[in-house]
Structure formats: C-alpha cells, structure tokens
Amino acid sequence: MKKVTEDQPSATIPIGDWNLPTDFQLADPGFNKRGTIDLLLGLEHFYEFLLLNGGRVQIQRIGNGLPLLVNTVFGWVVAGKVNLGQMNPIPSCHVVVGNSLEQKIERFWTIDEIQDAPRFSQEEIDCENHYRVTFSRDTEGRYVVRFPKRVGFDKMIGDSREMALRRFIQLERRFKQDEALRERYSDSIREYLNNGHMALVEGAEERSKEQLVCYLPHHPVVKESSTTTKIRPVWISQDDQ
C-alpha cells in the first residue's frame, strides 16, 4: 500500500504539563505531533515487544487523565486515553478490501438468490422430444430409441452412398496389402452380425432411390494393448469427414 493510514494523531497534542520523565527513552519522541505512519504491526507481535526483564511488563502512570508509559523493546510507548478538552479529534476509519473479499460477497449473493428454471437450447428441447416420442423397451428390458436426426438432416447428409463407397474401396486396397488385418476385421464384423448389433439390408440400392438412406463409412482401429478387443470397427459420420 502507498499509505498505511491517515496521519496520526488527528491533531497535535500539547504535552507541556505532562511532566514526562526525562530519564525515559521514548520509542517515538514526537509521538504527540501529527505525522505519517510508516509501519503497521499486527497484534500477534505486540506482546513480544514487552518481553523485557524476564517478561515482567513495566508500566508507569504519569498523572490522572493522562496516558500510561509502557516499556517495550523499542523504548517507552505512550498508550491510553487523554482528555483533549475543546480539541475535537478527527475520527479515522480503517477498511481493507481485496479482490478475494469482493468475490466472496458476490458468491454469497449468488448462492442466496433464487435460481431461475434451467433454460434449454432448441437443440436440447428437440433431443428431449425425440426421446419421448421414439423410445421403447425390448423383450430384455433394454431401452431402445431411434437414431436422432438434426433439423435439416436431409440437406446435410447429401450423397452419402458415393462417399461411403469410395472409402470402402480404399479399405479394400488396404486389406489386399495386409491379409491378417482383413481376417481380423472380418471377424469383428461377423461378431457384430452374430450379436445382432447390425443386420444385412436387402435391396439397399433400390431403396435409396425411393427414400433417404444414410451410409456410414467405417475403418479398423487396432489397439494391441487391449485385453479384450484388439481390433474394432469405427463408423464415421458425415460431420467427421
């Protein structure tokens, strides 16, 4: 801080009739004169300043209605209340505000205020409505929901068959160079078929001429460190291209 506090005391105090002991070394000989404060010490250190003569606190009274003299490691300190008569002291208020305090106050009001009902985006609302309309449960008790489609899906999907066919031809070329990969990948696809995770669609080419059909390209991902599936198919959506 550039300034510890306002100048202290609030006004210069006349001490001509105080009869201060001349053999006492004052910590601040000009304690009665209004001036700047150079250092602010915490109370946790105050009593350490009194550890003189084996810890025996030395206090001297200089007169009725006058402050006391307290001996410290810095010298004698004038402390206490004094009657200034008609002199009106200027009150001083000390406040320290940091960012952390402001943040705590803001957090307090945020927690205390009534929370508004959650606001959902249109996409979230559409997703919730899609689930409510299309969900069902199969004979084994599992939940089933139709594959969701975004608004404007027909325009976004484009000609997915041609794109998927090109990726499949690239995959075939890769398999010709790595027969072991082809066998392992074929086993993974057969496992999908056997478990009912996928099924053969008859007449897909003719169907795509009558209605919108989405074709998803796929490719193998190899992970030799896996303890279960070393290779698995990964399906690529239109947005991932």
Dihedral, CA of residue 23, residue 24, residue 27 and residue 30, to nearest 10: -70
Q: What pLDDT is attached to residue 240?
A: 53
Q: What pLDDT is attached to residue 105?
A: 76
Q: What pLDDT is attached to residue 122?
A: 85
Q: What pLDDT is attached to residue 213?
A: 77
> Could you tell me the pTM of the whole model?
0.38
Q: What pLDDT is attached to residue 119?
A: 81
- Which residues of the chain register pLDDT less than 70? 1, 53, 84-100, 112-117, 158, 204-210, 237-241
- Helices 160-177 & 179-194, crossing angle to 10 degrees? 130
Q: pLDDT tens digits for 189-198?
A: 999 899 988 8
Q: End-to-end distance of the chain based on CA atoms, in angstroms?
A: 58
Q: What pLDDT is attached to residue 239?
A: 52
Q: What pLDDT is attached to residue 88?
A: 60
Q: What pLDDT is attached to residue 208?
A: 58
Q: pLDDT tens digits for 205-237?
A: 666 566 777 788 999 998 878 777 788 888 876
Hey, what long-range contacts does 117-123 have (CB within 8 A, 24 or more apart)? 123/150
Q: pLDDT tens digits for 84-104?
A: 666 666 666 666 555 567 777
